[in-house]
Structure 1
Amino acid sequence: MALFLYLHFPALQLDNLQHLAENSQHVAIALVDQQHQLLQLNKAALTAGLKLQMGLASAAALCPDLQLLPYQPEQQVKVLKSVAQQLYQLSADIALDPPSGLILRLDGMLQLYDGLQSYWQALNEQLAMLAYRYQYSCGATPYAAKCLAYQQANLITTDNASLLAAIKASPLKATELTEPQQQQMIRLGIHTLGQLLALPPAELARRFDSQLLSYLGRLRGDYYHALEYLQPDPGFSRYLELLYDISDSTVLAKPLAKLLLQLEQQLNRANCQCYQLLLTLFFRDSPQLQLSIGSAQGEYKATAWLQLCQLQLENLPLPEPVYGLQLDVNHFAGQQRSTGALFEQQDARMSALQLLSLLQARLGRSAVSGLTLQNQHLPEQASQRCLPLVKGQTSPSALVLRPAFLILKPEPLTEPVTISQGPERLCPDGWQLTGQRDYYIGRNQQGQWLWLFRNARQQWFVHGWFS
C-alpha cells in the first residue's frame, strides 16, 4: 500500500526571518499580502488576539505595536526548497507543494528505518533543528495526507481504516475545492468529505465539472497523481533575508552562523568538506557584493568557517545596510582526517594550513607568500616569493652569518663602524669583477650590528641589520 506524509509549514517565511533575528520573540510580527490581510503571524501576534485574514485596521486596534512585513512568495519557495534539501538525507522521495508544503513518499523508506515510528522519530528530530512550525499527517494519497495535515490531524499511522475515517470526517474547507464549489456543496447539505464521497460518481459528473471528479479520484487513489520528486543539489546554496537591515559588517556574523550551521550539517551527512565559500551581500540600492572565503586545509565545521568569515567582515566597508545574505559552495571534497599528532603527547592547536587560512583571511591572499632560494650569489637575488608552504631548495650556507633584516636597495654607509668580521666576496652571475662585493660585519656607535659591503669602486653600503 502506498503511504505519504504531508508537511505543512503555515508561517514558513516569517519563522525563517524570526529564527535569524535575536530578541524578536516577544515582538508581534505579521506578514501581509497584497490585499492588506494578515497572512502569517508569529506567536506574539497570536497571543495578542490577531487572526489570519484579519484586516489591518482591526489588527492595529488589537495590537498597536504590530510590525508588518510584506509576504514574498518567491522567498518562501526558496526556504521551502532549503528545508527539502535538508530532509533529503532522511527521505529519498520528496516533492515540493508550493508555497508551504512538502510531500514525502514513505512506503519505500519504512523497511530501511524498520517501521514508521523509527522513521518519524528521525525525521522529527531533524525538523526540530529547523525551528519552523509545521503540521503533518499520513495519508494513502498525497491529497489525503494534505487534507489531514491542514486540519492539524498529526496522524502517523499505517492503519488505512483510521486514515479513511479521518478523511470522511474532514470539512470541505480543508480540501482543494474552490470557494464557489464549497458554497454549492453546502447549499446541497454536504458539509464533509464523507458525504461528498458517498455520492455516486455518475451523479457528480452530471451536476459538477471535471475538476471536482479529478480531485476526488486523486483523493481516493483512483487516478494516478504524478509527483516531481526533488533531486539533491550538487553543492550548497542558501539565501537568507534579514528581519532588519544591518549596517555593521561585524553583526552579519550572527545570521551567517545560521547558514554555516546548515552547511556543516549537510557536509557531515555527506562526510565531506569544502575549500571555498562564496558569500553574497544584498543591498537595496547598491550592487551586490561578493566575498570569496577560502581554507587551504579544507573545513566542515561551522565554527572554523565563521572565524574565517569574521576576519574578512571586520574591516569590510558597507555601502549601505544589508538586507540579505546568500552562501554558496560549488564543490564538496571528501574529508581528510589528520593523523600527524597520533603519537605526539600534545595535539597542535592549529595546523600550518589553518594558520595560513587565517592569515589570508586577515591580510588578503596577495599579502601572504612563501620564500624559496634561488641559484644567485647576490643577497637581493638569492630569494624569491612563492606560494605559501611550498618547499623550495635549501642550502646550509643560507643560514650562516646572514642578517635578519635585509634592505631591498642597499644604502650608502654614512657613519663610522668597527669591522669585526670579513671579508666575504660575492659576485653576480659570470663572476664579473666590476660587480663584485666584499661583505663585512660591523658595529656602529649605537651598538647595532650591520651587514656591510664594499664594491669594486671602494664604496661602502649597508645591506642589512642583525637582530
Structure 2
Amino acid sequence: MALYLYLHFPALQCDSITDPGQQALPLAVVDAQHSIIQLNAQAAAQGVQLQMGLATAAALCHNLQLIPYQPQQQQAVLRSIAQQLYQVSADIALDGPDGLYLRLCNMLQLYQGLAGYRAALMAALALLPYQYYYASAATPLAAKCLALQRLNLLTQDSIDTETALKRSPLSFTELEPDIQQQLQRLGIASLGRLLALSTTELARRFDNRLVSYLGRLRGEFFHALEYIRPEPGFSRYLELLYDISDMAVLSAPLSRLLQQLQQQLQRNNALCHQLTLRLYCRDSETQNYSVGSAQGEYRAANWLKLCQLQLENHRLTAPVYGLQLEATHFMPQQAQSDDLFAPQQGNVSALQLVSLLQARLGSNAVSGLSLQNQHLPEQASGRPLPLLQTKPLAGALLQRPAFILPQPRPLQEAVEISSGPERLCPDGWQLAAQRDYFIGRNGKGQWLWLYRTAQQQWFVHGLFS
C-alpha cells in the first residue's frame, strides 16, 4: 500500500534568519505587494497576522522587523532540510517553496512500523529551528492537502484520511482560483462534495485541469516526483537579522551553523579537516577564511574555538549580513585506543594544539624542525609540517648548535677553543670563501660555534643549548 507524508514549513525564510543578539524580536517576511506572508511567534503574539498590510502590522507592533521575501534563499533552505532528513527517509522530493514529499511505504520495514518511523523523523525535525506541519495519505496530493490544514495526521488508516479529505475546503487544494470560483458558484465548497460528483460530468462541464487534479488526488493518475540525491560535503547559508560590524558578535550565528555541521558529521560517523567560512559584507567584497584542524574534528565547540582564534586576527571592512559555512571532504572517524600503561595525557592532543596555534598565529608560523643531509649550516635544517616524523642523522651533523644566528656576528670576546677546525666552503672550493669552524666556550660558560675566514677574521655563527 502506497503511503506518502507531506511536510509543510509555513515560515521557512523567517525561521532561517537568526538574531545575533538572541533577543527574539518580532519578525515578518513581506512579498512584492507589501503583504505579510511569514511571521514568527513574537510577531503573532502582538496581533500580527498573515496577509495583513504593513500599516496595520506597524500599528500593532512598533518594533516589527520586516524582511523582503527571497525565493532563492528559501529554496536553498528547503534543499538543506531535505539533505538533513535524508538519513531518516530515503525518498524525498522538493515541493517549492515550502514543502517536502516523503514516500514512507519502503521505510516502514526498516523502522519496524509507522511508530518507529515517526519517532526517528520527529527526533530529526526537533534539531531544526523551523516550524512545520505534516499529514500522510495514500497519494502525494492528498497528503499535501491535509498538511496545509495543519492537521498533523500520520496514520495508515485510509478511513481517517478519507474523512479528513472530504471535510477539506477547496482553498487547500491546488485547483486554480478560476476553477474554485466556478465550483463555489455551483455550491461546491469542499472536496467531499466535489469527489461525490461523476468524473464524466466534471469532464463535460470543466476543462481537463480539474479532472487531472482529481485523478492524481485519488491515485488514478500517476504523479511523478523527482527525488533528491545526497550531496557530498556540507554547505549552509545563514541570513542575519541585522548587520554586524564586530567579529566577536559573529560567534552566536556561527555556532548555529557549526551545530548543523556536527549533526551531519555524527550521522555519517565522520569528521573533517578543513572548513571554509564566507562572510557576506554590505557593499563590499565577500571575505573568505579557511580554518583547518590537523587532527580532524566533528565537535561544534572545538570548531568554534578554531574559528574565533582566526577571526580575532582580522577586522571587518564592512558590516556582515550573511554567513556561509562549507566543508567539501569528510573522513571516516577512526577508533582511538589509548595505551593502558602510557602516561596520562592532557585534555588537548598534540594535533589539536597545532591546530590552535595555526588558527591563532597562521599556518606558516607553525612548523616542525628537522636535520637535512647538507654540510652547509644555512641548509642543514628544514621546517617540515608539524609533528612530522623524520629519521635522525648521525655523525658530524649532530655537532651543530641548536640556535643558528640569522647573520654571523664578529667575535668580540675571549674564548677557549674546545674542538675544530672543520672546513666548510659555501662557494665551491675557492680559498676566499672557505670557513674553518670551531667549538669554543666564552667566559660566561656559553658554548659557541665559531668560524675563521681566510682573512683570519673570527665570527660567531651559532650557540649550543
Q: TM-score normalised to the size of structure 1?
A: 0.93
The one-letter amino acid paired with 1:106 is L
Once residues 79 and 102 of structure 1 are traced to their aligned partners in structure 2, the CA distance between those partners, rounded to angstroms, is 12
More displaced 10-residue stretch of structure 1: 192-201 or 420-429: 420-429
User: Does the 8 A contact of 1:380 with 1:408 survive in 2?
Assistant: no
Question: How does 1:248-397 map onto structure 2 within 5 Å?
Answer: 248-395=246-393
Answer yes or no: is 1:423 the counterpart of 2:419.
yes
User: Does the 8 A contact of 2:141 with 2:216 survive in 1?
Assistant: yes
SS at match of 1:181: helix
Q: CA deviation at 1:234?
A: 1.6
More displaced 10-residue stretch of structure 1: 126-135 or 306-315: 306-315
Q: Which runs of 5+ in 2 are unaligned?
A: none
- Aligned with 1:63 (options 61, 74, 79): 61
Once residues 398 and 43 of structure 1 are traced to their aligned partners in structure 2, the CA distance between those partners, rounded to angstroms, is 76
Q: CA deviation at 1:433?
A: 7.0
* Equivalent residue, structure 2, for 1:33: 31
* Equivalent residue, structure 1, for 2:438: 439
User: Does the 8 A contact of 1:7 with 1:137 survive in 2?
Assistant: yes
Give the 3 Å change call, closer, same or farther, for CA 21–178 of structure 1 in structure 2: farther
Answer yes or no: is 1:189 the counterpart of 2:195.
no
Q: Which runs of 5+ in 1 are unaligned?
A: none
Once residues 119 and 160 of structure 1 are traced to their aligned partners in structure 2, the CA distance between those partners, rounded to angstroms, is 18
SS at match of 1:278: strand
Once residues 401 and 80 of structure 1 are traced to their aligned partners in structure 2, the CA distance between those partners, rounded to angstroms, is 65
Question: How does 1:116-155 map onto structure 2 within 5 Å?
Answer: 116-155=114-153
* Equivalent residue, structure 2, for 1:8: 8
User: Does the 8 A contact of 1:3 with 1:107 survive in 2?
Assistant: yes
Give the 3 Å change call, closer, same or farther, for CA 256–45 of structure 1 in structure 2: same
**What are the Cα deviations for residues 411-452 of structure 1, in whole angstroms up to 9, with x where unaligned?**
1123x33x245132222268877623242333357x766443
SS at match of 1:130: coil
Answer yes or no: is 1:458 the counterpart of 2:456.
yes
Identity of aligned residues (%): 59
Q: CA deviation at 1:265?
A: 1.4
Once residues 277 and 323 of structure 2 are traced to their aligned partners in structure 1, the CA distance between those partners, rounded to angstroms, is 7
SS at match of 1:370: coil
Q: CA deviation at 1:103?
A: 0.7
Give the 3 Å change call, closer, same or farther, for CA 401–349 of structure 1 in structure 2: farther
The one-letter amino acid paired with 1:23 is Q
SS at match of 2:243: strand
SS at match of 1:111: coil
More displaced 10-residue stretch of structure 1: 335-344 or 146-155: 335-344
Q: CA deviation at 1:282?
A: 1.3
Q: CA deviation at 1:3?
A: 0.5
Give the 3 Å change call, closer, same or farther, for CA 141–342 of structure 1 in structure 2: farther
Once residues 142 and 68 of structure 2 are traced to their aligned partners in structure 1, the CA distance between those partners, rounded to angstroms, is 31
The one-letter amino acid paired with 1:459 is Q
- Aligned with 1:52 (options 50, 53, 61): 50
Answer yes or no: is 1:109 the counterpart of 2:88.
no
Q: CA deviation at 1:137?
A: 0.7
Once residues 37 and 172 of structure 1 are traced to their aligned partners in structure 2, the CA distance between those partners, rounded to angstroms, is 23
* Superposed CA RMSD: 2.2
Once residues 94 and 22 of structure 1 are traced to their aligned partners in structure 2, the CA distance between those partners, rounded to angstroms, is 35
Q: CA deviation at 1:403?
A: 4.3
Give the 3 Å change call, closer, same or farther, for CA 138–270 of structure 1 in structure 2: same
User: Does the 8 A contact of 1:360 with 1:368 survive in 2?
Assistant: yes
Q: CA deviation at 1:58?
A: 1.1
More displaced 10-residue stretch of structure 1: 347-356 or 202-211: 347-356
More displaced 10-residue stretch of structure 1: 155-164 or 237-246: 237-246
Give the 3 Å change call, closer, same or farther, for CA 102–424 of structure 1 in structure 2: same
**What are the Cα deviations for residues 183-210 of structure 1, in whole angstroms up to 9, with x where unaligned?**
2222211121000110111111122111
* Equivalent residue, structure 2, for 1:24: 23
The one-letter amino acid paired with 2:246 is D
- Aligned with 2:98 (options 96, 100, 103): 100
Once residues 121 and 44 of structure 2 are traced to their aligned partners in structure 1, the CA distance between those partners, rounded to angstroms, is 27
Once residues 152 and 459 of structure 1 are traced to their aligned partners in structure 2, the CA distance between those partners, rounded to angstroms, is 92
SS at match of 2:249: helix
User: Does the 8 A contact of 1:378 with 1:427 survive in 2?
Assistant: no
More displaced 10-residue stretch of structure 1: 179-188 or 221-230: 179-188
Once residues 98 and 105 of structure 1 are traced to their aligned partners in structure 2, the CA distance between those partners, rounded to angstroms, is 17
